[in-house]
Every structure is written in C-alpha cells, then in structure tokens.
Amino acid sequence: MRTVIHLVVFASLFILTRPTITEAKEHYSRPGPIHLDRDGEKWVRQTLSKMSIEEKVGQLFMVWARAEFFNVDSPEYREFTNRIAHYHVGSFALTVPVDGPFLIKGQPYEAAMLVNRLQHQSKLPLLIAADFESGLSSRLNGTTVFPQAMAFGAAGKADYAESFGKITALEARAIGVHWNFFPVADVNSNPANPIINTRSFGENPQQVGEMVAAYIRGAHSNGMLTTAKHFPGHGDTATDSHLGVAQVSGGRARLDSIELPPFRQAIAAGVDAVMVAHVAVPALESDPNKVAVTSPAIVTQLLKEQLGFQGIVISDALDMAALTRLYAANIGRAAVDAFKAGNDVLLIPPDLDAAYRAMLAAVASGEISSERLNSSVRKILQAKASLGLQRARLVDLSAMDKIIGLPENAALAQKISDDAITLVRDNGKVLPLKAVKKSAVPLPYQAPEPITNRVVAVIFTDDVRLESGRAFERQLHTRAPDAHIFYVDSRIATAMSAGILKAADEAQTVLAAVYAVPTPGVRGGGSAVSRTDATSVLLQAILDHAAAKTALIAIGSPYLAQDFPSVQNYLCTFSSAPVSETSAVKALFGEIPIRGHLPVSIPNIAERGTGIEKPID
C-alpha cells in the first residue's frame, strides 16, 4: 500500500512540474525572421531606463566561451559566472579550445548545453556569436561541412551562398548561437595575403558583393544576425593583423572601386553588423597611432555617415597584436578609443577588468556622454529583442538531432564543393585517373592492400599530426587501394626526400596535394601559401623529376602555382574542408564534371575566370 501511495505522489508531482506542450514551445527560442515588434521596442525602452551605468558598460563587451563541459564549481565556469555577475557582459563569442596548431572541435550538444547554462546565469538575455565562416563545422563536429568562401566564388552561383546562409543559420540557432561573424566582405586582391585568402569569395568586388548579399538573405530567413567584415577592407594586405599592423595602401579612389563596394552591397542587403579591422589606412587616417578600429574618420565618418550604416558596429578582437602593441602601456584604453571611434560592441578585450574600468572612468568623467553610451546599448538590446530573446532565450536540446547535419544539407554542401573544382592546367597525360575495381568488400582485420608505386601521393601539410589529408587518403584508397601515400611537413621533408623522389621516379602517376589555408594568429600558419622551406624544395624536386606525370592539387590557396611555374597539371579546391578533399579525388578520377573558374588571378599563371572544363567521360 505504501508503494502505491508513493507512486501516486510521484506521478502527481511529475504532472504538476512537467511543462505543457504550449509552455514548452514558449520556453525555447525559435528561429524566425528577424523583426523588432512593438513589444520588443517596449522591452528595450523599459530595460534601458532601469539599467545602471555599470550594467550599460557591461553590455558593450563580448568575451570568449569555449564549448566544453564544465563542472559548476570549476575555475573556468566560475570565471564565466563572474563575468556575467560582476561585469554584466552582454554577449559571448562561442569557440573551442586550441592547442598550438590543433583546433579541438567540440560537439553540438556540449555547445548548446553551455549556452543554456550561461543564459540561465544572466539577468538579461545574452547575445551568442561565433566565427562560423565555413558553417558550424568550423568549430563543431557532426554539423554540415561546407567549403571555404572562395570555393563559392569558383562555383559562381549566388544561390549556393544563400543556401549556405540558410543552413548555417538553422544549425546555429539550434545550438543557441544568434550571430555569425560572416560573411567576409574583403576583396582578396593581394596574392600575398596570409590571413584573408580563401576566406574571401574572390578578387572581383561585384562578385564578392553578390555573394555577401546572398548569404545575408539566406541567414536572415532563418533568424541569424550577420556581420560584414573586415571594414574598410583587409584583402589588399600582406600581414596577419593578429600578429602585427597590416596596411591598406591604396588611395581613396581604389577604396571606392575595390574595397568598399561589397560593404555597400552588404548594407543594402540589411547586414546587421559590420566588424572593423585593425588595419592602417593612410588614405583615410593619417595618424600612425590609429588603426581603423580606433579611427573616428573610418568608423563614424566613413561607415556611419558616408555609407549610412545604422546597425551594430563591432570591433575586431581587441586582443590582437595589431592593437595591443599600440596600447601596451595602457591596455584598457584601447576599449575607450574604439568606443569613441564609433564601435558599439567591444570584442575580446585582452584584460576585461582593465577595459571595463577604463570605460567606467570615461563615462564618469564625461569623456563618453550618457547619450553616446545609451545609443550603443540600445542597439544591443534591440538586436536581442529582434530575436525574441526577451521572451525565450534557451534552446531545446531534444530538437537538435532533427535539425543539425541533415543528409540533404550535407549533399548540397558536397555539390557546392564539387562545382568549385577548377582545372587551371592540363597536359592531357594524367587526368582522369583509372580506378581499380576490387572484387570484394574488405573485411575487418584483413591484411592491408600491398603498397605499390603505381600511384604515389605526397600530402604536404603544415603539421603531419593534423587532420589535413586524411579524407583525401581515404577517398584515394577506395579507388587506388595500392597507392603509396606520404605525409610531409617542413620538419621531416628533407629526411624523406630521397625515398619520395625514388617512388616518384617509379610511379605511373604522382599526386602532390598541398594544404595551404590561412591560419589566424599562427605565425607561419598556412605557410603553404608561399613555401620557402624544405617542403618547397621537395615539391620543386618532384616537378623536376616527374612534371609530366604529376598533378598538383592546391587544397586551399590557389596561389600556390605562382611559386611552381613548371607545373603541367594544376587543380584547385579553394578549401581544405573534408568535402573539398573528397571533391578533389572525385575530379581526379573523372567522376564529376570539372566546371569551376578561378575567382582570383594567379600571377604569371592564369587570369581570373580561367577554368578548363571537363565533362564526365
């Protein structure tokens, strides 16, 4: 009898505490068109009127949140709660841990759980942003894997960019991310650019602008805020601004014709935010101690007044060396100068406490007026209300497996990558390769296929411990099980050279797959963009020995060939994502038509628009 009573009591409690279907729907944030309605405007007015100066200043700051599991009493999680409770931060930038060259990707559930926990901790709803430049797969596993932006330029279809925005928004909102730091509106006109490169849609301002606008339309349709970056243009630079001050040296006429048009198109498309770069632009700002992000002439006069942008202006990360070197003696002052220049959101200050105190002091002294402070805070609150976060800020973890990583979305991403493959040179002697048909499906624990030198593949990467080349290897082995595959980086290239050259001499076909992608903030990262080390010597030696039977595959930067003009067969993917690796192998074996065209010019090799089209045999 006692057991029955206990069960009845438990059932009654469950019924009382379990939310109804209607309540559950209202409890969770649901993506939809971004719109500030009358109730949202009322919430903004009432909220702003009740906020203290400390709370208003806190809303301006966005800090990191690394998507991992954290115990509630761990120092890392306590730091999150301290930033919310003590500094009143208004937003977090979601990322994942980094260990040297290794990006330790997380899982969607980990990210969503952390976001929900942070939202629970905050008095006001938080804006959650992320750098999902290649979709969520930039940071998280199990999501739709897209190629980098330049691949979209090579495929040449704005509809692809719009679908990219739609799918990324759908998956991002499912894990509680509302704001993507994309699209990149930079025009990559400088082949020596180490940091933009394949992150740009290309070198033609009109095409870049069309892709940018299409992405914004797609993202907005599924309720994601967008960001055009890096204003006023980071494409014509040769320095990584994470490591030093990059300079845009063109005059105002060039800026108006090359750098600014994509930003104009982004603004016309309704972009929600513009990110300002840490670049020196002498044509716009003569003070050598000011970069774009701290220049009123660039942020307020050019972006806001001349271009008419009225949305959120966000600084690039304030902890980047291009800025911190200018403020080494007073690190908190960078936030004040960036805000006074016209930025609304201050991204990743190197010292939150110093930046927060400096901003409070500037407001207290009248250096920053209450009207200026309220203007930026109002924009931030309006963005939150336009997403409906004042009504529901949490995401439904149980719905994620029905939204993220849909097979049809993965198929579309693969098609985009396939269509981007561009053949720049072809001597007619190598492509297409012939696949070997295996008589039976291999069983577990069988002896591996004997390795021969019929097909030799040399995978050049910045670090052989990285994932670069793994998808390429798997795809190649399904078609050429006996392929001899070498992994090479600058540390071991010299020691491996003799063996690789011997194999190349004996081979029927040599594949040199070079991974060259921009790696923000890593000195020498993406160094395959211009190889001047032992790997360069080895690659040139391969071409010297076997150019006629070698296919060079640029898995990332297309500019590689300018350093190796003797190449006779040259294929570009414009991306190092696994879908791009797969596309490269499919193209090599003639399984897909090759129809991409260069979205950039390769000095002394080919002009923009070049592309040798090949149908399926």
Binned at pLDDT 50, 70 and 90, residue 8 comes out as very low
Q: Counting Cβ atoms within 10 Å, is residue 524 exposed (0-12), middle (13-18) or buried (19+)?
A: exposed
pLDDT value of position 450:
84
pLDDT value of position 322:
80
pLDDT at residue 442 is higher than 80:
no
Mean predicted confidence (pLDDT) in 444-462: 87
Q: At what angle do helices 578-588 and 407-420 cross, to 10 degrees?
A: 60
Give, in order, the Cα–Cα distances in Å from 332 to each of 355, 357, 362: 4, 8, 11
Instruction: Encode pLDDT of 360-369 as tens digits.
Output: 999 999 999 9
3-state secondary structure of 571: strand
The gap between the terminal CA atoms of the chain, to the nearest Å, is 78
pLDDT at residue 19 is higher than 90:
no
Mean residue pLDDT of the chain comes to 91
Mean predicted confidence (pLDDT) in 505-520: 90
Nearest to 421 by CA among 143, 137, 147: 147
pLDDT value of position 238:
62
Rounded Cα distance between 524 and 322, Å, is 17
pLDDT value of position 480:
96
Instruction: Encode pLDDT of 317-328 as tens digits.
Output: 999 988 888 999
Mean predicted confidence (pLDDT) in 542-557: 97
Mean predicted confidence (pLDDT) in 442-466: 86
pLDDT value of position 520:
59
Q: What is the CA radius of gyration of the chain?
A: 26
Reading the block at residue 422, the tokens are: 């561009």
Reading the block at residue 253, the tokens are: 């006429």
Q: Which residue among 230, 242, 278, 484 is the active-site one?
A: 242
Structure-model confidence comparison of residues 53 and 21, the more confident one: 53
Nearest to 574 by CA among 228, 40, 198: 198
Q: Which residues contact 419 (CB under 8 A, 6 or more apart)?
A: 154, 155, 157, 160, 595, 596
pLDDT value of position 468:
94
Binned at pLDDT 50, 70 and 90, residue 25 comes out as very low
- Residue 276 has φ and ψ, to the nearest 5°, of -95, 135
Rounded Cα distance between 301 and 344, Å, is 15
- Domain assignments of the chain as residue spans, ordered by start: 23-408, 421-588
Q: Which residue among 236, 316, 344, 489 is the active-site one?
A: 316
Q: At what angle do helices 205-221 and 158-174 cross, to 10 degrees?
A: 40
pLDDT at residue 7 is higher than 60:
no
Binned at pLDDT 50, 70 and 90, residue 530 comes out as very low
3-state secondary structure of 281: coil
pLDDT at residue 290 is higher than 70:
yes
Mean predicted confidence (pLDDT) in 440-457: 79
pLDDT at residue 14 is higher than 80:
no
Binned at pLDDT 50, 70 and 90, residue 407 comes out as very high
- Residue 409 has φ and ψ, to the nearest 5°, of -70, -40
Q: Which residues contact 240 (CB under 8 A, 6 or more apart)?
A: 194, 195, 246, 518, 520, 521, 523
List alpha helices for 480-570, DSSP H. 493-506, 534-546
Is position 316 annotated as part of the catalytic site?
yes
pLDDT value of position 532:
59
Instruction: Encode pLDDT of 80-93 as tens digits.
Output: 999 999 999 999 99
pLDDT value of position 244:
57
Segments of 205-343 assigned E as strands: 227-231, 246-247, 273-276, 279-280, 312-315
Give exposure, 423-451, as e/b (b: 16+ Cβ within 10 Å).
bbbbeeebbebebeeeeeeeeeeeeeeee
Binned at pLDDT 50, 70 and 90, residue 136 comes out as very high
Q: Give me the CATH code for the 23-408 domain, please.
A: 3.20.20.300
pLDDT value of position 519:
62
Rounded Cα distance between 506 and 16, Å, is 76
Binned at pLDDT 50, 70 and 90, residue 243 comes out as low
Mean predicted confidence (pLDDT) in 576-583: 97
Reading the block at residue 227, the tokens are: 């960001």
3-state secondary structure of 408: helix
Q: Are 587 and 581 in contact (CB under 8 A)?
A: no
Q: Are 164 and 146 in contact (CB under 8 A)?
A: yes
pLDDT at residue 20 is higher than 70:
no
| SS3 annotation, 572-603 | ECCCCCHHHHHHHHHHHCCCCCECCCCCCCEC
Residues of the chain with pLDDT > 90, as a percent, come to 83
pLDDT value of position 5:
40
Residue with tokens 């050598």: 288
Q: Are 207 and 261 in contact (CB under 8 A)?
A: no
pLDDT value of position 250:
83
Pairing between β-strand 570-572 and β-strand 422-425 as defined by DSSP bridges: antiparallel
Is position 240 annotated as part of the catalytic site?
no
Binned at pLDDT 50, 70 and 90, residue 252 comes out as very high
Binned at pLDDT 50, 70 and 90, residue 529 comes out as very low
3-state secondary structure of 256: helix
Mean predicted confidence (pLDDT) in 158-184: 98
Please name the CATH architecture into which domain 421-588 falls.
3-Layer(aba) Sandwich (3.40)
Mean predicted confidence (pLDDT) in 333-359: 98
pLDDT at residue 171 is higher than 60:
yes
